[in-house]
Structure 1
Amino acid sequence: MRASESQEPNPQLDHLGYCPDCEYLGDHPHPTVTSPTQARVGAAVIATVVFLTAIAPLATDMYVPAFPAVAAELLATATQVQLTLTTFFVGMALGQLVGGPVSDQRGRRRPLLLAVAAMTAASVVCALSPSIGVLAVARLVQGFAGGWAMVIGRAVIIDLARGAQLVRILNVIAAVGGIAPIVGPLLGAVILQLSGWRVSFWTVAVLGVAMIVAVLVAVPETLAERDRRGGGMGEFAGAARELLRNRRYVGYVVVAGSAMGAVFVYVATSAFVLQSMNGLSPIGYSIDFAVNAAGMTVAALLAARLAGRVATRKIILVGQVAALAAGIAMLVGAIWFDAPLVLAMVCFFVLMTAQGLIGPNGGALAAAEVPDHPGTGSALLGFVQWVAAGAIAPLAGLGGEQTAVPMALLMTATIAVSMIGLLVLARPSRSTR
């Protein structure tokens, strides 16, 4: 018997339109409780949140092609330049951890504007950096403010959307946001060809100004004063402990966090596997990268269409099975056949396409489990995702440029952990099956 048939509706969960066990997102397509202050989830709000979500891949991917130029101009080593990417990831993780509870306490709109302004200022400092040390610190601040803005953007959507609508919007955001990894490297390469690496950061600063205008125009305050929580970080710690005792929330965080780790295994190593090991040209690699990002975008749009029609857990599982098969095939190919080009390209495509089914849906189910703490829940999710990204990326390159075995092992392991999150930690309770 399904939960919606065996239990009374929970008003707190009806805020998001979920059944008590949060398994089927279409069980309450029309929520029974509606706040009179709740704003409509308009296209302008969604577009602004997409903008906020895209800033991280843009700030990273536009900059990566310029690593040699940065090292030459600032008299830095390759390792020191790589550190500026690490500090950005660290900032992203910490910014999401802090931004969520602050927005639960202070509301969404003002902290969001503050975060975008700080990110814009940090981008200007990056563009003017006289040394690699200043650049690393500025990237830390840029990542912190960007993570802060991203987590509040997600909280705004969680404030406004319900049930299948929430999953649909999160998948659309992921799908449209998937364009950024396609545009970022190409835009960065064009900027580098026509000018210098500093222009990439000036571009991010200009986008930051546009983002401030978009927030002012399109994003209302979505958290009424009566719904805000005092206590700052102290209450956040208590709320975090409460959330971490929720087995299913933890499970869905593991689902989404491990999927993020798999994405960055690909990001960190695909160039070495396809170019260094198999001789694919830079143009060929850029095309392949774009095709894989497009596959993820199409899958996320498909998941958005299926929201409310197909159980979201089933959609996630389909993606996990496909990604696990790609990881195992890649591992076999890496061990016995030196990761041939066609196999690597097919496995990367399947892995990245599957992420469009896994990541956004895992995040939506995690949000559904903690309707009383949307900011804190989103903060913990974002923190785990970016910690996974920052930790996995360097591990994937431990084998150097001539073997794909460590990368294939990590591909397989991250997806296996994601499946454990879904099937073990986030399994439905017996009383709701």
Structure 2
Amino acid sequence: MLVLLCFVGPLSTDMYLPAFPRMAVDLRTDASGVQATLAAFLAGMTLGHLVFGPVSDRYGRRVPLLVGAGGCAVATGVCAVAPGLDGVVAGRFLAGFGGAAGVVIGRAVVTDIAEGAVAARLLGVLMALAGLAPVLAPLAGGLVIEAVGWRGVFTVLAGAALLVAGAVLVAVPESLPPDRRHPGGGRELLRTVREVTGDRAYAGYSLAFTFAFGALFSYIAGAPFVLQRVLGLSVGASSAVFACGAVCTALTGAVGARLTARTGPERLLRTGAYAMCAGAASLLAAALAGALTLPVCLSLTALTCGGLGLVTGNATALALARVPHAAGTGSALLGTAQSALGAAVTPLVGLAGAENGGPVFGAMTACGAATLLAARWAGRADAAGR
């Protein structure tokens, strides 16, 4: 059920990616305008994390999950019928707000029921299985788009959100007993936030997690245009290429989960960060040299996405292990930073242009380097007990 909860975000960001060029034509806008729909979704998730995480620490996990999933379904349905770009952007913002509940509370539930290496392994498995969503989403999206157009994608996504709500209602028990809930109001919330963010190791691991997703969102925003306009692929072929990167993320996440007890999450995190840097920098060099061919793009994207699979689960586990007493708030801050950076990166990639891969891969390289620096800083702070 937790995997199903975590499917909402990847489905909502990845399933309609192959439709970006067509949406630009139908909505009479450019690449940056279409990417604003993705940025709006991420902005909504940013706010949703801030709301649903602390609320779940105070009132429990189930009720906020139900409210979020139901709201996400309604807002996504609005996107399917909105006549213009403004309506789609507004619907995406509200869908992101509701969809944040599944992501932030799903991570908190793991911390409710496990700790230490067990929590790291569970989070790794969770993210590896959730990584199937980005594999399936572009492929399914491509089929839906070819059959009924891009609006049909949002109809499917609305149904998926309703399915999540039903699953929560029927099969997800409450994992946070009343005696472990935070009793309090705004002052107590601010005190908890200050305590969580004041932990330097938590802050470092959170930054590593955030910048890793910054690299991913840069790729998400720019890849459809690079694959279709620069490399000349069709909608279906570009969906398949995008899915290959998601396969690599899921596979390395699964392998990393099995290696956690033997190798340690800190070492796996650093290994993933180095792989991300190497892959993204090589993609940038190939784009600037005019040597970006399909085999080059596939192999280097696999390296970058493989590194991402090692970073996300381990960074999450290490960060939340620092704040087990406030798992909802800690998970919320993780997701807030992640979504905020994604919302900032995606329109910037569009404004920089989609004529070549330089802006996309440049942003990925910068985020990969920041991930590595944050991981190393967090490791030193964790070793010092801060």
Answer with 324-333 or 62-71: which moved more.
Answer: 62-71
Q: Counterpart of 2:111 in structure 1: which amino acid?
A: I
Change (3 A) 1:90 1:429: closer
Kindly indicate whether the alpha-carbon contact (under 8 Å) linking 2:201 and 2:322 is maintained by their aligned counterparts in 1. yes
Is 1:193 the equivalent of 2:135?
no
Q: Is the 8 A contact 1:326 1:350 kept in 2?
A: yes
Q: 2:96 aligns to what?
A: 143
**3-state secondary structure, aligned to 2:325:** coil
- Name the Cα RMSD after superposition: 2.3
Residues 222 and 350, structure 2, Cα contact 8 Å, conserved in 1:
yes
Find 1:266's aligned residue among 199, 219, 234.
219
List runs of 5+ in structure 2 lacking aligned partners.
none
The Cα of 1:131 is off from its aligned counterpart by 4.0
1:252 is matched with: 205
The alpha-carbon deviation at position 425 of structure 1 amounts to 3.7
Q: Deviation digits for residues 18-44 of structure 1, max 9, x if unmatched? A: xxxxxxxxxxxxxxxxxxxxxxxxxxx
Offset at 1:429? 5.5
> Which residue, out of 49, 55, 73, partners 1:102?
55
The one-letter code matched in structure 1 to 2:161 is G
Q: Partner of 1:423: helix, strand, or coil?
A: helix
Change (3 A) 1:367 1:183: same
Residue 349 of structure 1 aligns with which residue? 302
**Retained in 2: the 8 A contact 1:247–1:426?**
no
Q: 1:29 maps to which residue?
A: none
The percent of aligned pairs where both chains have the same amino acid is 38
**Cα deviation code 1:246-289 (max 9, x no counterpart):** 10000000110010011122222233444433334444433222
Q: What residue is the counterpart of 2:29 in the other structure? A: 77
Q: Are the counterparts in 2 of residues 113 and 212 from structure 1 also a CA contact under 8 Å?
A: yes
Deviation at 1:80, TM superposition (A): 4.3
State the distance in 2 between where 1:82 and 1:401 align. 11
User: Which residue is 2:193 aligned to?
Assistant: 240
The residue that corresponds to 1:164 in the other structure is: 117
Q: Do structure 1's residue 303 and structure 2's residue 256 form an aligned pair?
A: yes
2: CA distance between counterparts of 1:208 and 1:329? Answer: 38
**8 Å Cα contact 1:65/1:188 also seen in 2:** yes
Segments of structure 1 that go 5 or more residues without pairing to the other structure are 1-47
Larger Rg computed on CA atoms: 1
In 2, the alpha carbon distance for the partners of 1:231 and 1:394 equals 37
Q: Matched residues in 1 for 2:17 and 2:118: separation? A: 36
Residue 87 (structure 1) shift: 1.4
1:415, CA displacement in angstroms? 1.5
Q: Which residue of 2 aligns with 1:316?
A: 269
How many residues are treated as equivalent by the alignment? Answer: 385
SS of the residue aligned with 1:329?
A: helix
Partner of 1:123, secondary structure, is helix
Q: Give the SS at the match of 1:308.
A: helix
Aligned positions of 1:284-295 closer than 5 A? 284-295=237-248
Task: Report the equivalent of 1:277.
Answer: 230
Question: Does 2:127 correspond to 1:174?
Answer: yes
Q: Which residue is equivalent to 1:410?
A: 363
TM-fit CA distance, 1:82: 3.5
Q: What's the offset of the Cα at 1:67?
A: 4.4
* Structure 2 contact 18–224 (Cα < 8 Å) conserved: no
- Partner Cα separation in structure 2 for residue 134 and residue 94 of structure 1: 19
Bigger Cα displacement from structure 2, 160-169 vs 279-288: 279-288
Contact map agreement 1:102 1:232 (CA 8 A) in 2: no
Aligned to 2:331: 378
Structure 1 distance, partners of 2:15, 2:299, is 26
CA contact (8 A) 2:139 2:240 kept: no
Deviations 1:173-207 (CA, angstroms, capped at 9, x unpaired): 11111111122122222222322433322222222
Structure 1, 273-282 or 322-331: larger mean CA deviation: 273-282
Query: 1:337 Cα deviation (Å)?
Result: 4.1
Q: Is the 8 A contact 2:117 2:260 kept in 1?
A: yes
Question: TM-score, normalised to structure 2's length?
Answer: 0.92
Distance 2:149 2:228 in 1: 25
Q: What letter matches 1:84 in structure 2?
A: T
1:214-245 alpha-carbon deviations (Å, 9 max, x no partner)? 11222111111111112344322221111111
Q: Structure 1 residue aligned with 2:346, among 393, 403, 423?
A: 393
- How far apart, in 1, do the equivalents of 2:365 and 2:220 lie? 15
Instruction: Tell me the equivalent position of 2:161.
Output: 208
Shift of 1:305: 0.6
Q: How far apart, in 1, do the equivalents of 2:33 and 2:282 lie? A: 35
SS in 2 for 1:230: coil
2:203 maps to a residue whose letter is V
1:111 paired residue number: 64
**Equivalent in the alignment of 1:91:** 44
Which residue in 1 is equivalent to 2:6? 53
Tell me, in whole angstroms, the C-alpha distance in 2 between the residues paired with 1:250 and 1:192: 41
User: Larger deviation: 135-144 or 244-253?
Assistant: 135-144
**Cα separation, partners in 2 of 1:343 and 1:199, compared to 1, 3 Å:** closer
SS at match of 1:367: helix
Supply the distance in 2 between the matched residues of 1:327 and 1:397 (Cα, whole angstroms): 18
Which stretch shifts more, 277-286 or 148-157? 277-286
1:196/1:152 CA distance change after superposition, 3 Å: same
TM-score by length of 1: 0.82
Q: Which residue pairs with 2:171 in the alignment?
A: 218
Among 311, 322, 329, the alignment partner of 1:369 is 322
Work out the CA distance in 1 between the residues paired with 2:383 and 2:153: 53
1:71 and 1:135 map into 2 onto residues whose CA distance is: 12
